[in-house]
Chains A and B, each alone.
Chain A
Amino acid sequence: MNDTTATSAPGQIGKPPLRGMRDLLRIVIVGHVDHGKSTLVGRIFYDTGSLPEGKYESIKAMSERRGMPFEWAFLMDAMQAERDQGITIDTSQIWFKSERRDYVIIDAPGHKEFLKNMITGASQADAAVLVIDAEEGVKEQSRRHGYLLHLLGVRQVAVVVNKMDLVGWSEKRFREVEAEYRAYLKGIGVEPAHVIPVSAREGANVAARAAEMPWYKGPSIVEALDGFNPVAPSKDLPLRFAVQDVYKFDERRIIAGRIESGTLKIGDRLVFSPSNKMARVNSIEVWPADRAKPSTAGAGQSVGVTLDEQIFVERGDIASHEADAPIETDVFRGRIFWLGKEPLTKGARYKLKLNTFEAPVQVQAIEKVIDTGDLSAATPDRVERNQVAEIVFRARRIIALDPYSDLPRTGRFVLVDKFDIAGGGIISMEGYADQRSLITARSTNITRVEHAVSREERWRRNGHKGGVIWMTGLSGAGKSTLAVALEKRLHDEGFHVYILDGDNVRHGLNANLGFSPEDRSENIRRVGEVAALFARAGVIAISAFISPYRSDRDRARTAAGEDFHEIYVKADLATCETRDPKGLYAKARKGEIADFTGISAPYEEPETPELTVDTAQRSATQCVDDLVAYVKQRFRI
């Protein structure tokens, strides 16, 4: 051992642990099976003097009973099956102290079969040590665990290249493994804090620095751990108070829950999403009752508050301040890891749990399945157990949520299949709109005026029913061409018909809107309402908008009621891109247009349109004939 570094090594055998209430850091040890995770934990304990009395002797006895050399892994592998088979089956936790602070070490199994246990362990950690065998090098679970740490939100990572004694303490071998793994982590946007050459069995670079590897100038494992910090929920982010329950055990009506981020104080006006009801905080309750009631509460606290008004609040609501409320949507994208016994499939329904909120969701699309080995993506029709994928989910009701990158604790969810948690994921809203402003009715005290002319009377005057022909499809699918031809044919045959065209309404009615997902949704909302007015006036309104979001089209359908006819103008992306009548695809491919449907923003196909016209398969004339025939049949009185 190198004398100059040994004196600075934290924790030494026989040294009494330090006193007082100290910081606690949770560390998970991950990596491929047999790369020495459990051994490393045992050695950290031994080298920091944290082994309980008699433990060394009892491990020795357990090893001898099995005819094995001394097996450090027995410190944490508590099950008989684990000891007998020499593998870790389930995650475990154990406490130790360095000079700086207290630690919980979470041991996680490296076997692929026990990935759910690895995730259970790693999700609780502030920081991670990822162990790679110097001899075997980077393996399947080394990569998968690195990827999952990132998905689970563990940002502080030290990589340990273990078993350096087996490669003759070779710097060359260390650098090879280091370079390969750093390149992989870089591909997922992770920068490890340290890459440390170690021999857990020999105690080299565990607590004290190793004399065998003078070429290594970085910290030992324990020194590296001391450099990490506990992760606490942030008070500086927007307020998210997740309602767990409402208690009426006595005269008080207490809203109970945990503050996931931000701060609330007495007098704050809270909006409860997704119901969008509002009330002010009246008090923050405590027990024992003779203790002072606080005036504020912050992230991480489990609290009970009373409100100034008895509004209806229920479990699953998220309270926030009005100015920075969560997103409300019925569609979102999740980057998920799948643990289900059955594969995840398109169209399948699962129970979503997001904080305390629960709702059924359906898999609308499997956008890609990511190979955690080489980070390549494929688009199969199912996601198998232990795979990572990007999925678009749709709910039947509005959900309040946050993008994970903004607010991690309200931006992650799990999926339940029957009785079991079958996956978890983090939320991205890229390309999808916040529907809050579209669904929150601001006008009150309005009553509808009854017309003296009935809609049937209007129909008889016109000789046909009124209604909305809502064409949806990709840019270049032929919506405008068909709309213009259809309007002409119907007009010539005596129908009252009018086109609402995208470019035209943007010159007037919607001149104040841009092309963000929110503005596009508002654009469609207005057109839907105008089209519904035309329909009620007895006219056939033809709309020709891409209208890529299913939620928006459903809203237009609600506005027009039974007079709504969704027409899917179908053409595959490649065909549309070849046509490119306005040169927009070319610009989008060059990145000159952001959020372009089909390229950089989603198009959600209609599930049950009244009519589909396939312009890639049939001529424009044939398609117009189909449309005319449809109108004649459906708009007959």
Chain B
Amino acid sequence: MDRLDQLEAQSIYILREAFNRIDNIAMLWSLGKDSNVMIWLSKKAFLGHVPFPVAHLDTGLEFPETYAFRERYAKEWNLKLIADSCPGLETIDDTLPPASRIAARKTAGLKEAIEKYKFNGIIAGIRRDEQSMRAKERVFSPRTADGQWDFRDQPPEFWDQFKTDYPAGVHIRIHPLLHWTELDIWRYIKRENMPIVPLYLAKNGERFRSLGEIGITFPIKSNAASIDEIIAELEVTRTEERAGRAMDHESEDAFERLRADGYM
């Protein structure tokens, strides 16, 4: 087994544990590269099926290419798509810095979906190498009834034994890609010949390295117009992946605050 085989096998194991141990789960589909890999891995884990709903937390602020991707692959991959609109900006805590406040609409949308569909588990495609607070995450990570993450007192997790026992009201975040890196994701997309939103590929010397909402996500300078070129670019870069995501950089603890409150 090479490195991608090992990553794939581990993620499949996690997805199958989540599906078996937790009733009524959903997967978050941001339409970005990572969540597409997650859906692909689900098809592998469940041999051609995605046996839970897939939720796109829609802020209405995605790029047109992103919406087109959603329409096409929800059908092609035979997904049970939930695409409810997130609550408006006026409902969000106005003490948050501006970009964080926009990002927090997704947290609010997620809380609404959990309440509406009674989800006990949410599968999210975050990775440890993206951001230092995400690096501290567990694979199975409990959230209180109001979505809070108690990051100062997380459950022990070892030997692939995850926290699957919890009192009513708690929901579990499941992170099947936690152990992948950005480069792993691209190498896997390449190997599996998976589709991507074309915004990742360079046009006129710019491309998106991390995909988010219009207005708080910015492209990087790049001439990588193919997946091979993206891989070559990432092998030598020393810039952080989320450098183009405004909400990570507004204050030292901006992302910690977002995540403690339930952001992905």
Q: Which residues of A contact B (CB under 8 A)?
A: 16-24, 51-55, 62, 65, 76, 78-81, 89-95, 116-117, 119-120, 123-124, 152, 232, 244-245, 247, 249-250, 252, 254, 256-258, 285-289, 298, 300-302, 304, 315, 339, 351, 353, 412, 414, 416, 418-421, 424
Q: What is the bound-complex CA distance between A257 and B47, given in angstroms?
A: 12
Q: Is the CB of B151 within 8 A of A90?
A: yes
Q: Is the CB of A416 within 8 A of B165?
A: yes
Q: Is the CB of A93 within 8 A of B256?
A: no
Q: A19-B235, A21-B187 are in contact. Are A94 and B135 (CB under 8 A)?
A: yes
- Residues of chain A with a CB closer than 8 A to B128's CB: 92-94
Q: Is the CB of B16 within 8 A of A302?
A: yes
Residue of B nearest to A418 (CB): B165
Q: Assess whether B117 is interfacial by the CB under 8 Å rule.
A: no
- Residues of chain B with a CB closer than 8 A to A65's CB: 252
Could you jot down 23 A-B contacts, CB within 8 Å? Answer: A19-B232, A21-B3, A52-B239, A76-B132, A78-B132, A79-B133, A90-B136, A90-B151, A93-B129, A117-B154, A120-B138, A120-B158, A300-B5, A300-B6, A300-B9, A302-B9, A304-B47, A351-B165, A414-B158, A419-B166, A420-B165, A424-B156, A424-B158
Q: Is the CB of A232 within 8 A of B9?
A: no
Q: Is the CB of B13 within 8 A of A258?
A: yes
Residue of A nearest to B236 (CB): A16
- Residues of chain B with a CB closer than 8 A to A89's CB: 152
14 further interface pairs, Cβ-Cβ under 8 Å (given A95-B181, A244-B17): A19-B232, A52-B238, A52-B239, A53-B238, A54-B240, A90-B136, A92-B128, A92-B132, A120-B158, A250-B48, A254-B47, A257-B16, A302-B8, A419-B165
- Residues of chain B with a CB closer than 8 A to A339's CB: 156
Stretch of B38-46, B100-108, B211-219 on the interface side: B38-46
Q: Assess whether B155 is interfacial by the CB under 8 Å rule.
A: yes
Q: Is the CB of B48 within 8 A of A117?
A: no
Chain B 22-58: CB-based contact to A (< 8 A → 1; otherwise 0):
0000000000000000000001111111010000000
- Residues of chain A with a CB closer than 8 A to B48's CB: 249-250, 287-289
- Residues of chain B with a CB closer than 8 A to A116's CB: 155-156
Q: Is the CB of B240 within 8 A of A53?
A: yes
Q: For the complex formed, measure the closest distance between the CB of A93 and the CB atoms of chain B, giving whole angstroms.
A: 5
Q: Is the CB of A120 within 8 A of B3?
A: no
Q: What is the bound-complex CA distance between A351 and B164, given in angstroms?
A: 12
Residue of A nearest to B131 (CB): A78
Q: Is the CB of B165 within 8 A of A302?
A: no
Q: What is the bound-complex CA distance between A412 and B161, given in angstroms?
A: 11
Counting from the closest, the 4 A-B pairs by CB-CB distance are: A123-B158, A78-B132, A116-B156, A302-B12
Q: A92-B135, A247-B46 are in contact. Are A414 and B16 (CB under 8 A)?
A: no
Q: Is the CB of B9 within 8 A of A245?
A: no
Residue of A nearest to B6 (CB): A300
- Residues of chain B with a CB closer than 8 A to A285's CB: 47
- Residues of chain B with a CB closer than 8 A to A414's CB: 158-159, 161
Q: What is the bound-complex CA distance between A412 and B49, given in angstroms?
A: 32
Q: Assess whether B93 is interfacial by the CB under 8 Å rule.
A: no
Q: Is the CB of A17 within 8 A of B19?
A: no
Residue of A nearest to B192 (CB): A288
- Residues of chain B with a CB closer than 8 A to A258's CB: 9, 13
Q: Is the CB of A119 within 8 A of B156?
A: yes
- Residues of chain B with a CB closer than 8 A to A20's CB: 235
Q: Assess whether B20 is interfacial by the CB under 8 Å rule.
A: yes
Q: What is the bound-complex CA distance between A287 and B47, given in angstroms?
A: 5
Residue of B nearest to A422 (CB): B156
Q: What is the bound-complex CA distance between A289 and B45, given in angstroms?
A: 13
- Residues of chain A with a CB closer than 8 A to B129's CB: 93-95
Q: For the complex formed, measure the closest distance between the CB of A210 and the CB atoms of chain B, giving whole angstroms.
A: 26
Residue of A nearest to B165 (CB): A419
Q: Is the CB of B135 within 8 A of A78?
A: yes
Q: Assess whether B68 is interfacial by the CB under 8 Å rule.
A: no
Q: Assess whether B167 is interfacial by the CB under 8 Å rule.
A: yes
Q: What is the bound-complex CA distance between A254 and B51, given in angstroms?
A: 14
Q: Is the CB of B159 within 8 A of A123?
A: yes
Q: What is the bound-complex CA distance between A117 and B1, given in angstroms?
A: 29
Q: For the complex formed, measure the closest distance between the CB of B175 and the CB atoms of chain A, giving whole angstroms.
A: 12
Q: Which residues of B contact A (CB under 8 A)?
A: 1-6, 8-10, 12-13, 16-17, 19-20, 43-49, 51, 128-129, 132-133, 135-136, 138, 151-152, 154-159, 161, 163, 165-167, 181, 187, 232, 235-236, 238-240, 252-253, 256
Q: Is the CB of B16 within 8 A of A90?
A: no
Q: Is the CB of B16 within 8 A of A245?
A: yes
Q: What is the bound-complex CA distance between A421 and B51, given in angstroms?
A: 28
- Residues of chain B with a CB closer than 8 A to A252's CB: 47
Q: For the complex formed, measure the closest distance between the CB of B126 and the CB atoms of chain A, giving whole angstroms.
A: 13
- Residues of chain B with a CB closer than 8 A to A51's CB: 238
- Residues of chain A with a CB closer than 8 A to B240's CB: 52-55
Q: Which among B48, B128, B158 has the greatest number of chain A C-beta atoms within 10 A?
A: B158
Q: For the complex formed, measure the closest distance between the CB of A258 and the CB atoms of chain B, giving whole angstroms.
A: 5
Q: Is the CB of A91 within 8 A of B43?
A: no
Q: For the complex formed, measure the closest distance between the CB of B76 and the CB atoms of chain A, giving whole angstroms.
A: 12
Q: What is the bound-complex CA distance between A414 and B156, given in angstroms?
A: 11
Q: For the complex formed, measure the closest distance between the CB of B255 and the CB atoms of chain A, giving whole angstroms.
A: 9
Q: Is the CB of B47 within 8 A of A90?
A: no
Q: A16-B236, A53-B239, A252-B47 are in contact. Are A421 and B163 (CB under 8 A)?
A: yes
- Residues of chain A with a CB closer than 8 A to B46's CB: 247, 249
Q: Is the CB of A81 within 8 A of B152?
A: yes
Q: Is the CB of B151 within 8 A of A300?
A: no
Q: Is the CB of A92 within 8 A of B156?
A: no
- Residues of chain A with a CB closer than 8 A to B156's CB: 116-117, 119-120, 339, 421, 424
Q: Is the CB of A249 within 8 A of B49?
A: yes
Q: Is the CB of B133 within 8 A of A302?
A: no
Query: CB < 8 Å: which of A81, A247, A254, A301 contacts B9?
Result: A301
Q: Is the CB of B155 within 8 A of A420?
A: yes
Q: What is the bound-complex CA distance between A250 and B130, given in angstroms?
A: 37
Q: Is the CB of B19 within 8 A of A245?
A: yes
Q: For the complex formed, measure the closest distance between the CB of B232 and the CB atoms of chain A, giving whole angstroms.
A: 7
- Residues of chain B with a CB closer than 8 A to A92's CB: 128, 132, 135-136
- Residues of chain A with a CB closer than 8 A to B187's CB: 21
Q: Is the CB of B238 within 8 A of A78?
A: no
Q: What is the bound-complex CA distance between A62 and B6, given in angstroms?
A: 37
Q: Is the CB of B133 within 8 A of A78?
A: yes
Residue of A nearest to B163 (CB): A421
Q: Is the CB of B256 within 8 A of A21?
A: no
Q: Is the CB of B20 within 8 A of A245?
A: yes
Q: For the complex formed, measure the closest distance between the CB of A619 and the CB atoms of chain B, giving whole angstroms.
A: 54
Q: What is the bound-complex CA distance between A258 and B135, given in angstroms?
A: 26
Query: CB < 8 Å: which of A286, A315, A412 contacts B20?
Result: A315
Residue of B nearest to A419 (CB): B165
Q: Is the CB of A412 within 8 A of B256?
A: no
- Residues of chain B with a CB closer than 8 A to A424's CB: 156, 158-159, 161
Q: Which among A21, A116, A339 has the greatest number of chain B C-beta atoms within 10 A?
A: A21
- Residues of chain A with a CB closer than 8 A to B47's CB: 247, 249, 252, 254, 285-287, 304
Q: For the complex formed, measure the closest distance between the CB of B152 and the CB atoms of chain A, giving whole angstroms.
A: 6
Q: Is the CB of B16 within 8 A of A91?
A: no
Q: Is the CB of B236 within 8 A of A302?
A: no
Q: What is the bound-complex CA distance between A304 and B157, given in angstroms?
A: 25
Q: For the complex formed, measure the closest distance between the CB of B188 and the CB atoms of chain A, giving whole angstroms.
A: 10
Q: For the complex formed, measure the closest distance between the CB of A463 and the CB atoms of chain B, giving whole angstroms.
A: 58
- Residues of chain B with a CB closer than 8 A to A79's CB: 133, 136, 151-152, 256
Q: For the complex formed, measure the closest distance between the CB of A361 and the CB atoms of chain B, giving whole angstroms.
A: 15
Q: Is the CB of B16 within 8 A of A23?
A: no
Query: CB < 8 Å: which of A21, A120, A286 contacts B2?
Result: A21
Q: A81-B152, A287-B47 are in contact. Are A93 and B163 (CB under 8 A)?
A: no
Q: For the complex formed, measure the closest distance between the CB of B189 and the CB atoms of chain A, giving whole angstroms.
A: 13
Q: For the complex formed, measure the closest distance between the CB of A25 and the CB atoms of chain B, giving whole angstroms.
A: 11
Q: For the complex formed, measure the closest distance between the CB of B220 and the CB atoms of chain A, giving whole angstroms.
A: 12
Residue of A nearest to B154 (CB): A90
- Residues of chain A with a CB closer than 8 A to B136's CB: 78-79, 90-92
Q: What is the bound-complex CA distance between A54 and B241, given in angstroms?
A: 13
Q: For the complex formed, measure the closest distance between the CB of A371 and the CB atoms of chain B, giving whole angstroms.
A: 22
